[in-house]
Structures are given as structure tokens and as C-alpha cells.
Chain A
């Protein structure tokens, strides 16, 4: 299990599967290994302030040793990038105060996404301003929004392959496709609709040439699973029993199929958050 430093990890998946929880646990696991880690929330749900009772903004804020947190929305990334591009603060402020520019930034598609992806990958591309961390983890939006964001650089390249836009888009795409630099963690659970969406997500990422790691979340611990399966041998048709056994069966099938290379996170019975971080450290298919 190679332990490479310097990487971007996106956590995505269908709504409600556990992206935020797992991205946080993953961040803790990395930080405790001594990696300088940044966990970024890039969805509008403001989970950090609720979950952790901490106010986060664009600037990284120290949360624990080796672990900083931030909340981004794209527009702030754009501002940062623009700010850096101006040598004189005065001109920057005039620019940003301009109503026309503001309107443009709000309405124009793609600028925010490119700024976000551009800033995220800046360190790896050697482009300033740089985001200097060993490990950058993104609690990303759910499947649909996430994929549509990742596709923006390519769409822009087709519009304008030369000049600054082309340069940034190419660099972003290269970084995303480099599996030693970018990894997408696709989180899912053992339920029909979720499995369907997971399959779509993985297939799209494969088409884009982006590395994917699978995380099956909320799995029944093995002993529980075996008990469910054995007690359901009698033909109990009540909805709960069928739900339990269906879930257990799907989970067993996924776990036992070594070709699928899925990391497993067991359901936790108390709010024992640290046990999730521990489970993540032990997982086989993460680099």
C-alpha cells in the first residue's frame, strides 16, 4: 500500500450516502498520519457548522493538528484568483466594485467552476496562488452536480483552446486524470437506487479517465449480517425482514466479490465518529 503524499481526494455519491461523514473521517485519518491536510466543503449545505460547531469560510481554519477546514463556493475562489492577478490592490478593488463585472461573474457559466478547480489544483500545477497542503480533501456535491462541474474544463477547451483559459483548463484536466494526483471516492450504500446511481457515476468517471475508489457505507457488521441471513431462512414476508435480508445479501455479494475492490465502512451504533476514521485507516483499496 503505497502512501503517496500530495493528492486531491473528492468524496461524492448519491444524496445522503455519507459523503460528509466519510470525508471528515478520511481527513482525520490522514492528519493523524502527519500529513498537512485541508478539508474543503464545496456544497451549499454548511455541514461543518452543524456537525462540528465551527464557523468556516474561504480561508482555511485550523481544526486539529495537521487538519484545516474551509468552506468554498466558487465565487470566492474566483475572487482569490483575480486578486492575485492584479499587482495593485487599488485596481483590484475597482474591478470588483464594478457592477458590470459582478453581473458578469454571477451570470457567466463556468468561471466559478474553473476558479474552483484551478485553485484546487494550483499546487500540483505549480500555478500561483498556491494551495499548499500535502492532502486536499473535498466534500463535494452529489453525483449530478459533481459530474457537471468536472466536465466544465473540457467544455471550455472546446470553446477556447488557446490563451489563459485554455492553459488553465488543460492543466486542470491533466491533474484530474493523473491518478497519482487525483482520486474520486465514490460513496454508496446497499440499496437499489443508490447502486444504480453509483454505477452511472463510476462509468462517467471511467470515461473521463479519472481514478475511482469505492466505499460501501453503513454496512452491517459481519456477525449481524450472518444472523440476519440465517434467521431469514424461514419465509418471513414482513417488509422489515425482507429489507434487512435484501440489504445483507447485497452487501455480502459486494464484499465477497474481490474483483469489485470495494472499501467497507460498518454501520456505527453510537456516535462513535472516531471508529469511522479508524476503519478508514485500515482500508485496503486506498492509496
Chain B
């Protein structure tokens, strides 16, 4: 396939509440309006994306209708699809397992894995752009490290050791004794019911191992591909900008390059003034903070290939027309 036809992947990263979903949506709208085929995927089940992109109805604008697709990512559904590829018996036992039913999403890495699995599947469909609105970060590296943690778990075959399907020939007796003692202890600590559910659960995960590892392998290469862009979103107050700087540098130290940095809900105090005394001292305080923030942003601008966008605070109008206008204003021909 010629280079120009390769799908470009855009990850939007950031903490909760910074405007990731909105900016990802606007980016998608802008590209779609330029005639490119775009798929945007989000975990955000709240109506925010629906509000912005009116997911449940067709777009009024024909260009958007033709070019823009929206998907809500649900880890449970994705894992149910994966289970569907297993044999009947395994599939039934996993679906019945209560840990799977109730607590799947508490497993470290499940959401990140789901977005990678979805990405992997979607790359086959010939979109020009795939935009992933990632789950909110707790720390900067979460999104990148979780797949690795999952991989370690599955590659090490410990699950098999645990479930006893792995035969260790020579020191089997000693090994078995230790394992059995540990397992017996765990059973005593957690109780028989829970322990049994856990065993079934772990076995189920083991059955999914081949397809999970396949996905992780295929997408791992993707992370460092030049057709993948990382966009980090944050707020504009001093504390937030400091955190953003920290994140950019931390990711840089792990060879993860942020391409676009969005400083959202920005308020420019420079030209603002008031005749009232109380308000003036507040404004001066804000101006001082803004100077410090500006210095930090200037430092970041010196980093290679990092493009910084300051997005002014604005209200999102639900009208489609307004949305398209705002998207163009922010992203232009980018």
C-alpha cells in the first residue's frame, strides 16, 4: 500500500476534565469536513460526546455524514467478542463467571487493551484517520505501560503454572508442594467460593492468551510508528501547566513524543483591567501567574517537534454549524 494511503492514528491523552473528548471530537469534525474518512472512538459513555456529535442521529451536514464515524468503546463488549472466538465450553464458563461479569474493568490494563484491540481491528477498514479518545490518565505513563503489564502476565505463563496445566518435569514434586501450599493458603484467606471463581477467571484469561498477545504484538510496533500522533491535553492554570510540562518530559524520557500539546480553557489576562480596586489586585495576581505560565510554555516550545495550541475558554454550542466553525477555527488546515 502506498505511504499516502496509510491510516493516521491520533491518540488524545490527558487527565479527566481537561477537554480531551471535546478536542478529539473537533479534530475529527475538521478532518471529515476536509473530505477525509475519520473514525473516532471514545470510552466516555456520558452524553458529552453524544451532545457534541449527536451520535444517535444522522448529521445534518452531508459531508460529515459521509466521512465521520463514531464508536463508543466498551471493554465488556470487546472481551465478549474475543470470547466468542473460543470454543463453546470455554465461552460459556467465562460468561457465567461472576468476576468477569462484575469486575472486568477493575483489571489493570483492560481499558487500554480494549482501545488497542479496537484500533487493530479498525486499521483494516481503510480510514484516513482513526482518533482515539483515551481513558483519563491517572499518571502519564498509564496508557503506555498497561499493555506491557498485561503482556508480562500472559507471556510468563504463570497463569498456567497456577492452574496446573503446565508440567515442570524434574522438580515437579517440590514445585507442586509449594504451589499447592500457596494456593491452599490463598483459598483459606479468601474463602472457597471466591477462590473457585478466581480459578475459573484465571483459566478464562489463559484461554484468551493467544489473541491478547497477538493484539499486543501487533499494536506495540504501532506505538513508535511515525503515522501515530500523540496529543496531550491539559488546562491553563499554573498548576495544570506545571503538570503538563512534567508529563511531556516524563514521556520524552521514555521515548514517547508528544506532537501536539493543547492548553485548554485558556484565559488571556494581558489586556484586561478594571477601575475597581479589589478587582485590580485580583487581575494583577492573575497576570503574574500568567507570566510564570508563559515562561513554562516558552520552555516547552523549545522542544523539537512539539506544537502548542492555546485554546480559549469557550462554550460549546450544540448546533452542528457552530461545531464545524469552531473545529475549523482551532485546527484550520492542520
Q: Does B282 contact A (CB under 8 A)?
A: yes
Q: CA A224 – CA B281 in complex, angstroms? A: 10
A197, B17: Cβ atoms under 8 Å? yes
A16, B189: Cβ atoms under 8 Å? no
Chain B, residue nearest A159 (CB): B98
Q: CA A228 – CA B192 in complex, angstroms? A: 64
B102, A155: Cβ atoms under 8 Å? yes
Which of B16, B185, B276 makes the CB contact (< 8 A) with A143? Answer: B16
Name the B residues within 8 Å of A2 (CB-CB): none
Q: CA A94 – CA B174 in complex, angstroms? A: 12
B156, A99: Cβ atoms under 8 Å? yes
Q: Does B269 contact A (CB under 8 A)?
A: yes
Instruction: From known contacts A104-B198, A160-B193, A163-B192, infer whether A231 and B279 are also in contact, taking CB-CB under 8 Å.
Output: yes
Q: Which of B105, B108, B138, B275 has the most CB of A within 10 A?
A: B138
Name the B residues within 8 Å of A159 (CB-CB): 98-99, 102, 193-194, 197
Name the A residues within 8 Å of B15 (CB-CB): 15-16, 142
Q: Does A227 contact B (CB under 8 A)?
A: yes
A142, B104: Cβ atoms under 8 Å? no
B138, A141: Cβ atoms under 8 Å? yes
B278, A164: Cβ atoms under 8 Å? no
In addition to A44-B142, A164-B190, 15 A-B residue pairs with Cβ atoms within 8 Å of each other are A14-B17, A16-B239, A44-B138, A44-B139, A91-B185, A94-B182, A99-B161, A100-B183, A104-B186, A113-B106, A152-B103, A224-B282, A227-B274, A238-B272, A240-B269
Q: Does B4 contact A (CB under 8 A)?
A: no
Q: CA A94 – CA B312 in complex, angstroms? A: 57
Proximity bits, B162-204, A CB within 8 Å = 1, else 0: 1000000000000000110111011011111110011001100
B191, A165: Cβ atoms under 8 Å? yes
B189, A82: Cβ atoms under 8 Å? yes
A14, B16: Cβ atoms under 8 Å? yes
Q: Does A207 contact B (CB under 8 A)?
A: no
* Interface residues on chain B, number (Cβ under 8 Å): 61
Name the B residues within 8 Å of A194 (CB-CB): 17
Proximity bits, B286-325, A CB within 8 Å = 1, else 0: 0000000000000000000000000011100000000000
Instruction: From known contacts A98-B178, A159-B194, infer whether A142 and B312 are also in contact, taking CB-CB under 8 Å.
Output: no
Name the B residues within 8 Å of A160 (CB-CB): 191, 193-194, 197
Q: CA A46 – CA B15 in complex, angstroms? A: 15
Q: Which of B105, B156, B269, B279 has the most CB of A within 10 A?
A: B279
Q: Does A148 contact B (CB under 8 A)?
A: yes
Q: CA A228 – CA B280 in complex, angstroms? A: 10
Q: Which of B181, B185, B281 has the most CB of A within 10 A?
A: B185
Which of B16, B102, B103, B312 makes the CB contact (< 8 A) with A239? Answer: B312
Chain A, residue nearest B104 (CB): A109
* Chain A interface, >50% SS class: helix
Q: Does A49 contact B (CB under 8 A)?
A: no
A98, B179: Cβ atoms under 8 Å? yes
Name the A residues within 8 Å of B205 (CB-CB): 107
* Interface residues on chain A, number (Cβ under 8 Å): 59
Instruction: From known contacts A15-B16, A142-B136, A165-B191, infer whether A224 and B314 are also in contact, taking CB-CB under 8 Å.
Output: no
Name the B residues within 8 Å of A239 (CB-CB): 267, 312-314
Proximity bits, A157-175, B CB within 8 Å = 1, else 0: 0111111111000000000
The list of the 10 closest CB pairs from A to B, nearest first, reads: A163-B191, A160-B193, A103-B158, A109-B106, A109-B103, A100-B162, A15-B16, A155-B102, A159-B98, A160-B194
B74 to chain A, nearest CB (A): 15
Chain A, residue nearest B109 (CB): A107
Q: List 23 A-B contacts (CB under 8 A).
A: A15-B16, A95-B181, A99-B161, A100-B161, A104-B162, A107-B153, A107-B159, A108-B99, A108-B107, A109-B99, A109-B107, A142-B16, A145-B138, A155-B102, A160-B194, A162-B191, A163-B192, A193-B17, A194-B17, A220-B282, A231-B279, A240-B269, A243-B313
A48 to chain B, nearest CB (A): 14
Q: Does B251 contact A (CB under 8 A)?
A: no
Which of B99, B106, B185, B192 makes the CB contact (< 8 A) with A95? Answer: B185
Q: Does B235 contact A (CB under 8 A)?
A: yes
Name the A residues within 8 Å of B108 (CB-CB): 106
Q: CA A44 – CA B146 in complex, angstroms? A: 14
Q: Does A102 contact B (CB under 8 A)?
A: yes
Chain B, residue nearest A94 (CB): B178
